[in-house]
């Protein structure tokens, strides 16, 4: 009985060790849209940034950022290689979530159903702070006892923030995939 019990516990631990979660950003990672960030400077000048430009933009505390385009799904175009991975994950029944800075998950859920993909869990952070993504993933590693995280994002700041989690979680393998265009 003891031997069986030991074997059973070992199997349980192995399953736990294999727990893997793939995490996808949405904008410019799975899909390109015509959503823009509308910027107003301290002197009242207005200009727009694409999500790609915004990802590397140095924000200033006296500028106002209008993210209202991201409440919608404007003219979405699929990014094929990441979507292929997501389809493959869906077919394999593996775990994936979509983690977006958007303040609402609804456009992302709409996109998933339009693309005939399963309704993966969508987390909308309502913050473009790279640390918001890193904190969410850290909580998730703890909550789900993740052994392996694979993170896809086009923003170098998000990639750096999530990569920096590795030192806090030596037991978890954290792989980052920088989606470049």
Return residues touching Mg ion (CB under 5 A): 25, 27-28, 154
Q: Least CB distance from residue 155 to Mg ion, whole Å?
A: 5
- How far is 67 from 69, CA to CA, in rounded Å? 6
Of 152 and 174, nearer to Mg ion (C-beta) is 152
Of 25 and 69, nearer to Mg ion (C-beta) is 25
Q: Least CB distance from residue 7 to Mg ion, whole Å?
A: 45
Q: Least CB distance from residue 110 to Mg ion, whole Å?
A: 18
List, as one string, the DSSP characters of 129-164: -HHHHHHHHHHHHHHHT-SEEEEEES-HHHHHHHHG
Alpha helices in the chain (DSSP H): 2-17, 51-55, 80-92, 106-114, 130-144, 156-163
Of 147 and 153, nearer to Mg ion (C-beta) is 153
């Amino acid at each position: 009985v003891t031997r069986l019990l030991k074997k059973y516990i070992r199997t349980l631990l192995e399953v736990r060790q294999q727990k893997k979660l793939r995490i996808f950003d949405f904008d410019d990672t799975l899909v390109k849209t015509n959503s823009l960030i509308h910027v107003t400077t301290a002197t009242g000048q207005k200009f727009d940034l694409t999500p790609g430009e915004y990802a590397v933009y140095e924000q200033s505390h006296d500028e106002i950022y209008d993210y209202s385009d991201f409440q919608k799904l404007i003219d979405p175009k699929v990014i094929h290689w990441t979507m292929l991975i997501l389809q493959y994950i869906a077919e394999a029944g593996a775990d994936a979530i979509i983690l977006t800075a958007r303040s609402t998950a609804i456009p992302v859920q709409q996109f998933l159903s339009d693309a005939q993909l399963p309704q993966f869990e969508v987390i909308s952070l309502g913050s473009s702070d790279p640390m918001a993504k890193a904190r969410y993933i850290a909580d998730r590693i703890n909550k789900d006892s993740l052994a392996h995280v694979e993170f896809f994002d086009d923003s170098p700041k998000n990639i750096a923030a999530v990569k920096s989690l590795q030192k806090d979680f030596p037991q978890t393998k954290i792989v980052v995939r920088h989606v470049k265009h």
